[in-house]
Amino acid sequence: MSIINHFRSRWAAFSHDLLMVPVAWIGAYWLRFNLDSIPEEVLQPALGALPVVILVQGLTSWRFGLYRGVWRFASVPDLLRILKAVVVGISLSAVTLFVLTRMEGIPRSVFPIYALLLGIFLGGPRLIYRWMKEHHLYQLAEHKVLIVGAGHAGEMLVRDLLRDRDHGYSAVAFVDDDREKSGQEIHGVRVAGRCGRIPRLVKQMNIDLILIAVPTANSRQMRRLVGLCEKSGVPFRTLPRMQDLVSGRAAIKELREVSIEDLLGRAPVALDWDGIRAGISGKVVLVSGGGGSIGSELCRQIAEINPAILVVLDNSEYNLYRIEGELQERFPEQALRVCLCDVGDAVGIERVLATHKPDFVFHAAAYKHVPMLETRLRQAVRNNVRGTRNLAEAAIRHGVSTFLLISTDKAVNPTNVMGASKRVAELFCQGKSSQGATTHFVTVRFGNVLDSAGSVVPLFRRQIAAGGPVTVTHPEVTRYFMTIPEACQLIMEASVVGKGGEIFVLDMGEPIRISYLAEQMIALSGKILGEEIEIIYTGLRPGEKMFEELFHEQEGLTATGRDKLLLARCRERHWDRCLDDITRMIEIAEGENDKELDMLLSKLVPEFSRSPEDDKSNVVPLEQVRR
């Protein structure tokens, strides 16, 4: 039935246009004679030429595709096709009439008047029909929409809303911070002012929904826009971020709720993908801790650039099973090997590297839960230090080209066992590099990663889903945040940039208050802070700092020429003695002498200082401390 209707509408449009040809042709003569009667000696040649004009114009209009579109969606391209059809049709008609009759009795001035009238008669009804349809649907629209951003994305969004009215939404206004756009109209929708007017316009226009169409907005801009939308008290949605559009993970038409990544993520990193592909493609790559949050994302991104073999190593059977299934489904052509092995197992690690002989090793396996490791020094050393040594020494023996250690901002001036143990792992890699190892040892240090295992984001989500309360340690605690994909991309870039012995620091942007993170996650969930969900401050946990640092004062940062990738200058050490102390530490960790282990840790990391257990200055009492 739809096919019949389609052809019916095309023939109706064609019939209309053919009818307009004689109207325009005779109308041109009428105007030529100043709206007076047309002389008989002129009218007869005009009527004689009319069949030729109708035939030529009809064929020309059909050839130029005037009947492919739908009148309801008539737009500038349709008007351009009409203009071309009219100009070509008149030219061919004039040539044909000249060949047949030498245009005897036909005034030359008729042709431009005819062209003008025909263009109006063909284009005018289409635009009037579209206006009537859209005006009618606008009256029927149940929900009024305010669009934030009058750029290309906003224009596409309005166009889609106009084309599909079944959803019952109608765009009534734009807001945009570009002053030059204020007062302009896009598809009949006016730019009503700057974004700061959002709350006021929502009340004035009875807005039901706000759509944020600014995919290029950075986190600071998104936080401002979301704050303004929250003040308005109506629901809001957003288009995908530019990095998701570029990567193909989302389409411009996909509206979604604002996520915490929109508020804390940052502008896409400009990576040297050609250099990364040249360095890793066709090579054997091993990822330790490949089933974890960082390791699994590394595996996904490495698989995208086609290594010869991807070796995934993890000590968790379930994590290994899960990432193996995902990689096999997404990258069926990728040669994949999974190894169930603990990095603390020197024999197992030796066997894995001897079998697969990787060119690159990304060492992501580590214990990282700060409060838990405070009373488990042996376990921290055995996994974070001994595991690094086992993998690093096996890498040297089996000719690994690049060994990349994934470290943490907590290794800088550490106040906890986890950070101190990771600093020792950094020292071991630097020490091996200083001894002239053929393997390039590179360290990458960064802060918290959104949605990684053990981070506050999944914890807050569970607490919000359970109805609260959301627990935050201290109102002023700040942390650096980065999305998992961004962190992994920079890790890969560091692996091909590094020449050995470097500590790369990722530019994490501005630190974020954890309390702000909690407040935004509550707001984005649709709950009301203080009414439906409360925030309770519990006090700093053992080993936690009020703020983190990305580099030591003696590690002056320098630029690398790569976006978001900085280089920390290594502090000078007596490396032979340092490596001896690390070896001794690992030996002691096999026993139960925690006191000596603690002494060696303090010797290797003299800046390591635990906060006194009886220091309550940073602790906020649990009882009734709420926001």
Phi then psi for 23, rounded to 5 degrees? -60, -45
CATH top-level class of 141-258 = alpha beta
Render pLDDT for 565-597 as a digit per residue (tens, 0 to 9). 777 777 777 888 888 999 999 999 888 788 888
Residue 484, pLDDT score: 77
CA-wise closest residue to 258 among 218, 212, 196: 212
Long-range contacts of 516-521 (CB under 8 A, 24+ apart): 517/260, 517/264, 517/456, 517/457, 517/460, 517/481, 518/456, 518/460, 518/470, 518/472, 519/627, 520/223, 520/226, 520/260, 520/263, 521/260, 521/457, 521/460, 521/461, 521/464, 521/470
Residue 445, pLDDT score: 84
Render pLDDT for 500-544 as a digit per residue (tens, 0 to 9). 778 888 776 777 888 888 887 887 777 778 778 888 888 877 777
Do the first three CATH levels of 141-258 and 280-454+483-509+550-604 match, i.e. the same topology? Answer: yes
Residue 160, pLDDT score: 75
Q: Going by C-beta distance under 8 Å and a sequence separation of 6 or more, which residues neighbour residue 571? A: 552, 554, 555
CATH code for the structural domain at 280-454+483-509+550-604: 3.40.50.720
Query: For 33-151, where are the alpha helices, taking DSSP H only?
Result: 40-63, 76-101, 110-140
Angstrom CA distances, 394 to 450, 517, 520, stand at: 32, 42, 46
Residue 365, pLDDT score: 93
Q: Which residue has the tokens 């289409």?
A: 126
Distance of alpha carbon 426 from alpha carbon 444, whole angstroms: 9
Asked if 359 contacts 401 with a C-beta cutoff of 8 angstroms, the reply is: yes
Every domain of the chain and the residues it spans: 2-131, 141-258, 280-454+483-509+550-604
Q: Which residues of the chain have pLDDT under 50?
A: 1-8, 69-74, 137-141, 242-253, 612-627
CA-wise closest residue to 464 among 382, 381, 400, 527: 527
